[in-house]
Amino acid sequence: MQAQKNKTPYFAALAFFLAGVAYLIFAGFSESSMYFRDVSEALTMPKNELRATRLFGTVREGSIRLDKQGIRFQLEDQHDKSLTMWISYKGVVPDAFKDEAEVIVEGGFEPAHDDFMARTLMTKCPSKYEKDNRV
Amino acid sequence: MYGFSSLVLFGAFFCAVLTAGAAAFACRPVSGPSSSGRNQTQVPFPPLRPASRSFLLVAELMQWLVLLLLTLASAVLVHAFINHDFSLDYVVRYSDRTLPSFYLVTAFWAGQSGSMLFWAWAVSLSGAVFSLTPGYRRLTIETRLLFWVFFLCIISFFLLLLTTWNDPFEPWTDRSGMPAPPPDDGFGLNPMLQNPGMILHPPLLFLGYGGFVVPGCLALAQHIAGGFGSRLRSGVIEAFEEAAWGQAARPFILAAWLLLTAGIILGAWWAYMELGWGGYWAWDPVENASLIPWLAATAYLHTALIESRRGKLRRINCFLMALTTISAFFATYLVRSGIIQSLHAFGTGSVGQPLLIFILASLYLVFIISLASQVRPGKSLGSLSSREGLLVLVAWIMLALSLIILLATLWPVIANFLQSLIPLVPMSVAVTLNDLPTGLDTGFYNRVCLPLFAALSCLLAVCPYRKWNTIPVRPTLRGVFSLAGIGAALALPLLARRLDAVFQQTGQYALPEFIQNGCLALSAHAGLLFTGCFILGLFPSTRRTGVLFPNVFRFVLAAAGLLALYLYRLGVHEPVALVAASFSLAASAGLVGIFAATPRMLRDKPLLAAHGVHIGLLLVILGVSFSGPYQVEYTLQLEQGRAVRAGDYTFALQRIFQGHSSPRDTSEANYEYLQADILVSRNGAVSGLLTPQRRLYAKYEKQSFTEVSTLFSLGNEVYATLFNVEGNRATVLIHVNPLVNWLWIGGTLMCLFPLLGLWSSRARKRRPDQNMHAEPETALPPAGSEAAGKPC
């Protein structure tokens, strides 16, 4: 009987706890979702549907343009190099950013701009486990 | 020579496999009366073959042989690096002739196969060291043999990877895969990895992962073997109970936790000082991978306390420790399989599939062993508000965090899998699946995980003051009102903010300011009332409710309430930051207060170690809760001779100049740099000189690398990254990171205090807990009796 009595508060607390965690996950999920796309996929979609998007691709050789605040460059599709998209980015450019670097950009299209406006620009990090970091 | 090294690894593999098989054979049940005289039908683990002692000796010797062979293979690889032997593919990829000798040695674990070899060596070393400890000798032969079965199976698996998919001794080949003459020079080690933080970070993680293998295997072994053995004493065979696995492997658990913590903190510090983006934790899959075992291990450390003090939760502890070990394998899988797109470039996935199969098989085995184990169930847990209950809550939070991080990290894979089901499901479901987001940004982790960390700081303000087992107290009217007061104090500002946000979103109404202010005033009033109740001691008698150090406890709660109000007035309106900061500060002060109130407790080293780690964690939570949401970022165009104002700070570019690293400086590779000297003043007073650089390394001429510069402060740390230089103008990214250094101070405390616990583990063994022995069930049954074979 004693064991039965002791367990009830635990089950109630667990239910509350799980409900709280579920709420946090739901709230986080609805506000922080991101759509991962390749350049080829992004090109086929209407611009107004590309808001919170993460694009993977390679920086097209010779396409990097620097200005005071940031950079513009063309992002090539990983599989089909003829498919490219102009990316604008304002902020600090990572160290490993260069022609033909594999990059990840997060952002979306804004009504006033033709370029994909990147909020973050990340290059593949020089990981310990990289198989081919220099070719 | 290197063919010989591959042979050495093969030899180690066969030794490990054969020994694991032999040890498993020795554990095989035999029919007929056993050597110990126990009846087979009555014992959970059948008697052993008479030769089991010899098998154990062989297993121990073979384990040393495996360690010797792994050490030999590692030495050959280090030798190849030091002598620039570019006939090895691995040496070409991760070193060059200009690399300083210190980094040449550390390049051993710079790549996938080398790090795998290092990990196998670390695991093997931890097993060998364990076999020398007194804790190991106090175990029964059955447990020891089973331990070696599990342990050598794991070693065999890693050696299998090293001899097949992941051989560090592969020769250098040309593009067609044919052996080629060695190149004159190697590719070099990436400059970003040439940093003391990054050099120590991976081996600390691997040693941590490796250290958890010993307790994980031992837990499973003892749960199968039962924990009872027989020995000959004065001509009579008698049964004895071996030390619990948690006690026998305690130094390993603490050391592994310490190393893993140090590895994670160092990794964060490296990211902060070297990557130049102003933060320290990007929730990248690789970072998350190391956090999952840490969280599982921390959950275990709390439930293990309940087992060692109260003899409860044995089965759960076995499961949690085995889960920690498996999550360390999973961390390796995430890093090496390439299943998740990450900022880090992963391997191409050659070892991913075998690792995944190994992890799933281990997980299945652990479930079966934990569920089927015949350990005697302990008493049921005490009340939820007792220390037992609160420790269980801590474990829930840790496990929830690890599960959330795991699922969020794997979300792209899960979403892809769900979307692949679209052709098989009805249209309505297919539409939903098609709209599923394929990823989660870092905001998700911050939104979900930070409140749980804040909850930990709240628990740390309460848990140390609760007795182990309390008498449930009937709720009084005063108590109900006080609880309602806390609820109101916490809920009203949140409600006001939420309503305001909703109104602003719809754009139709604005919440009148007087309602917002009214809510705040009410909540402040409720908070003060609640605090007052505690200060005046209006709650039921602390003796009845099981509160230890009642005055310190009242102080902590009062301080938390007042600090929250004070911080709110200072402009800290983020609820999570507010709760985390106020409770962190109050709980830290309380923990110091406990020791100040009773100085003799300072002699209790394990307690001191635990609370030292807790204070460290609270400081980490304080640092994280401020440096994230209250970070300020400025991108400044600076010109020589012209001061620029940003916030409270003024930045004056003094000079821009070029230079190169000193040839005598052997700590880093050769590089040229461009440096901007920026004088920083705050409200007219000079704060210091920032000297951010951009570096060009000899081996990486196409890229420049940032070298950040910081102005150390326990309040607001100014952090500068040089972005661009044109003539006498520089573009600089400035971050003002509030309280960030408390994160590093807390992290250091978390790494240092467990050493006290390690130091005192022997003393603790000699002083077993009184409560544990007070329980009648732990008394050893007489030999040969029906209960003699029942596991502990």
Average pLDDT of the residues in B646-651: 89
- pLDDT for B700 equals 65
- pLDDT for B411 equals 85
DSSP-assigned letters across all residues of chain A: -HHHHHHHHHHHHHHHHHHHHHHHHHHHHHHHEEEEEEHHHHHHS-GGG-SSEEEEEEEPTT--EE-SSEEEEEEEPSS-TT-EEEEEEESPPPTT--TT-EEEEEEEE-TT-SSEEEEEEEE-B--TT-S-S--
Letter for the amino acid at B418? L
- Tell me how far apart the alpha carbons of residues B493 and B517 are, in angstroms, rounded to a whole number: 9
Contact present, B326 and B332 (Cβ < 8 Å)? no
* B530 to A101, B42, B533, B540: CA distances (angstroms): 58, 59, 5, 14
- pLDDT for B492 equals 66
Min mean pLDDT across A125-129, B545-549, B590-594, B698-702 is at A125-129
DSSP B667: S
| Cα angle B423, B425, B431; round to 5 | 85
Using the predicted structure, report yes or no on whether residue B776 has a pLDDT greater than 60: no
Using the predicted structure, report yes or no on whether residue B400 has a pLDDT greater than 70: yes
Beta strands, E only, B149-307: 228-233, 236-241
- pLDDT for B470 equals 61
- pLDDT for B788 equals 31
DSSP B384: T
| Closest CB to A122 among B187, B335, B343 | B343
DSSP-assigned letters across all residues of B62-90: HHHHHHHHHHHHHHHHHHHHHTT-TTBHH
- pLDDT for A56 equals 82
**For residue B542, which phi and psi values (nearest 5 degrees)?**
-70, -25
Letter for the amino acid at A43? L
| CB contacts, 8 Å: B447 with chain A | 24, 27-28, 31-32
CB neighbour class for B6 (10 Å; exposed up to 12, middle 13-18, buried from 19): middle
- Tell me how far apart the alpha carbons of residues B502 and B321 are, in angstroms, rounded to a whole number: 45
CB neighbour class for B466 (10 Å; exposed up to 12, middle 13-18, buried from 19): buried
> Quick one: tokens of B204?
């600390």
- pLDDT for B334 equals 80
- pLDDT for B509 equals 57
Model confidence at B668, in pLDDT bands (50, 70, 90)? Answer: low
- Tell me how far apart the alpha carbons of residues B655 and B678 are, in angstroms, rounded to a whole number: 8
Average pLDDT of the residues in B548-560: 82
How confident is the prediction for chain B on average, in pLDDT?
Answer: 78
Percentage of chain B modeled with pLDDT above 70 = 76
Model confidence at B665, in pLDDT bands (50, 70, 90)? Answer: low
Residue bearing the bigger pLDDT, B469 or B18: B18
Model confidence at A65, in pLDDT bands (50, 70, 90)? Answer: confident
Contact present, B700 and B666 (Cβ < 8 Å)? no
Average pLDDT of the residues in B593-607: 86
Query: With a CB-CB cutoff of 8 Å, which residues 512-571 of chain B face chain A?
Result: none
- Over the stretch B680-722, which tens digit does the pLDDT of each residue have? 998 888 889 999 988 877 666 666 778 889 999 888 999 998 8
- pLDDT for B741 equals 93
Q: How far is A92 from chain B (nearest CA, A)?
A: 6
Query: With a CB-CB cutoff of 8 Å, which residues 411-450 of chain B face chain A?
Result: 412, 437-445, 447-448
- Over the stretch A69-108, which tens digit does the pLDDT of each residue have? 678 898 988 788 888 888 988 877 777 777 888 888 888 8
SS3 B771: helix
Preferred mutation among B190, B270, B445 to probe A, highest tally of A CBs within 10 A: B190
Model confidence at B787, in pLDDT bands (50, 70, 90)? Answer: very low
Parallel, antiparallel or unpaired: strands A102-109 and A116-123: antiparallel
Residue bearing the bigger pLDDT, B630 or B536: B630
- pLDDT for B240 equals 66
Nearest CA in chain B to A36: B438
Using the predicted structure, report yes or no on whether residue B577 has a pLDDT greater than 70: yes
Average pLDDT of the residues in A107-127: 76
| CB contacts, 8 Å: A123 with chain B | 343
Nearest CA in chain A to B413: A36
DSSP B541: P
Average pLDDT of the residues in B185-197: 74
- Over the stretch B40-62, which tens digit does the pLDDT of each residue have? 444 444 455 556 778 888 888 98
**For residue B593, which phi and psi values (nearest 5 degrees)?**
-60, -40
Using the predicted structure, report yes or no on whether residue A127 has a pLDDT greater than 60: no
Q: How far is A120 from chain B (nearest CA, A)?
A: 10
- Tell me how far apart the alpha carbons of residues A67 and A9 are, in angstroms, rounded to a whole number: 62
Average pLDDT of the residues in B457-470: 82
Using the predicted structure, report yes or no on whether residue B555 has a pLDDT greater than 80: yes
| CB contacts, 8 Å: B93 with chain A | 133-134
Contact present, A88 and A118 (Cβ < 8 Å)? yes
**For residue B559, which phi and psi values (nearest 5 degrees)?**
-65, -40
SS3 B462: coil
DSSP B475: P
Using the predicted structure, report yes or no on whether residue B599 has a pLDDT greater than 60: yes
Nearest CA in chain A to B436: A35
- Over the stretch B226-272, which tens digit does the pLDDT of each residue have? 767 666 566 666 666 777 888 888 889 999 999 999 999 998 998 88
- pLDDT for B591 equals 92
Parallel, antiparallel or unpaired: strands A70-76 and A116-123: unpaired
- Mutual orientation of helices B352-372 and B141-163 as an angle, nearest 10°? 170
| CB contacts, 8 Å: A6 with chain B | 380-383
Residues in chain A: 135
| Cα angle B214, B220, B224; round to 5 | 140
Average pLDDT of the residues in B360-383: 78
Most confident of A119-133, B218-232, B319-333: B319-333
Please, what's the b/e burial string for B353-366 (b: 16 or more CB within 10 A of its CB; e: otherwise)? ebbeebbeebbeeb
Strand partners, B455: none
Min mean pLDDT across B98-102, B112-116, B347-351, B435-439 is at B347-351
Residue B656, CB-side half-sphere exposure with 13 Å CA sphere: 18
Percentage of chain A modeled with pLDDT above 70 = 84
Nearest CA in chain B to A67: B724
What number is the ipTM of this complex? 0.74
- pLDDT for B763 equals 47
Using the predicted structure, report yes or no on whether residue B442 has a pLDDT greater than 60: yes
Token pair 């020891």: residue: B144
Contact present, B184 and B96 (Cβ < 8 Å)? no
Residue bearing the bigger pLDDT, B453 or B628: B453
Contact present, B690 and B678 (Cβ < 8 Å)? yes
- Tell me how far apart the alpha carbons of residues B640 and B245 are, in angstroms, rounded to a whole number: 66
Model confidence at B757, in pLDDT bands (50, 70, 90)? Answer: confident
Query: With a CB-CB cutoff of 8 Å, which residues 63-122 of chain A face chain B?
Result: 66, 68-69, 90-98, 102, 104, 106, 122
